[in-house]
């Protein structure tokens, strides 16, 4: 594996030891970033099931200002840190050991919000849509944030998830990439142009 493009182009990335982590292949990664970028002018990314950290590192290389990497496995986090150093982007990164749910709660407490989120949970987990709605409820997403959901091709997520719409989807063998955009709820506006209030007038 390597960084495909940007400031860290060509730098090799380590894999997580063992068979518990399934890194995104360079071919899929290149296709993925051609759909969502390919380059960025700042912004903050969240790599929630970081594994090797390859997706978040690629985003930093292509112009994201900062990225947060989360994983439960210590050997994955060790690999992320080694890869951040190899790509010379460690100063732009935060790395945390936590499960997804607790990580989102902690990020909410810190008042964080993201422009780009990578969700690549183990294929046995089918809760990508729930995680997206949790992020929206916790105000962790900036308006028009992009969610990259990687999942097995035999499983189909809805085209429209409350608060999100799917903008692109591509299949690469056993892997499917579904791209969603966050549609921040706007306050309802009445005919007069004033915001609608649910409370009845006294």
Q: Is residue 67 domain-resident? A: yes
CATH of the domain at 160: 3.40.50.150
Q: Could you count the other beta carbons within 10 Å of the beta carbon of residue 5?
A: 17
Residue 198 lies in a domain: no
Does 10 fall in a domain?
Answer: no
Strand segments (E) across 72-174: 93-97, 114-119, 141-152, 160-161, 164-172
Which pairs count as long-range contacts for 137-140, CB under 8 Å and 24+ apart, including other chains?
138/104, 138/105, 138/107, 138/108, 139/108, 139/113, 140/46, 140/104, 140/107, 140/108, 140/112, 140/113, 140/114
Q: What is the pLDDT of residues 100-124, one digit of tens each?
A: 999 999 999 999 999 999 999 888 8
**pLDDT score at 192:** 43
Residue 68's DSSP bridge partners are 46, 94
Of 76, 63, 68, 64, the C-alpha closest to 13 is: 76
Q: Is the predicted pLDDT of residue 58 greater than 50, yes or no?
A: yes
Total domain count for the chain?
A: 1
Asked whether residue 36 is assigned to any structural domain, the reply reads yes
Flag whether 11 is in a domain.
Answer: no
- Residue range(s) defining the domain that contains residue 70: 26-182
Residue 143 forms part of a structural domain:
yes
User: What local confidence, expressed as pLDDT, does residue 20 receive?
Assistant: 66
pLDDT-derived band at 49 (thresholds 50, 70, 90) equals very high
- 106 within domain boundaries: yes
């Amino acid at each position: 594996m390597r960084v495909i493009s940007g400031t860290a182009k060509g730098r090799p990335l380590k894999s997580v030891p063992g068979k518990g982590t399934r890194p995104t292949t360079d071919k899929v990664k290149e296709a993925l970033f051609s759909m969502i970028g390919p380059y960025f002018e700042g912004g903050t990314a969240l790599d929630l099931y970081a594994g090797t950290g390859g997706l978040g590192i690629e985003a930093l290389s292509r112009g994201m200002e900062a990225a947060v990497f989360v994983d439960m496995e210590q050997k994955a986090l060790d690999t992320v840190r080694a890869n951040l150093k190899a790509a010379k982007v460690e100063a732009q990164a935060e790395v945390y050991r936590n499960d997804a749910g607790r990580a989102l709660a902690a990020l909410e407490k810190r008042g964080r919000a993201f422009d780009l989120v990578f969700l690549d949970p183990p294929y046995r987990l089918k809760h990508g849509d729930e995680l997206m709605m949790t992020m929206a409820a916790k105000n962790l997403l900036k308006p028009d944030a992009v969610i990259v959901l990687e999942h097995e091709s035999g499983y189909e997520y809805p085209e429209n998830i409350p608060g999100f719409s799917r903008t692109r989807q591509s299949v690469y063998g056993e892997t499917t990439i579904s791209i969603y955009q966050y549609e921040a709820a706007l306050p309802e506006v009445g005919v007069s142009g004033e915001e609608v209030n649910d409370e009845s007038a006294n």
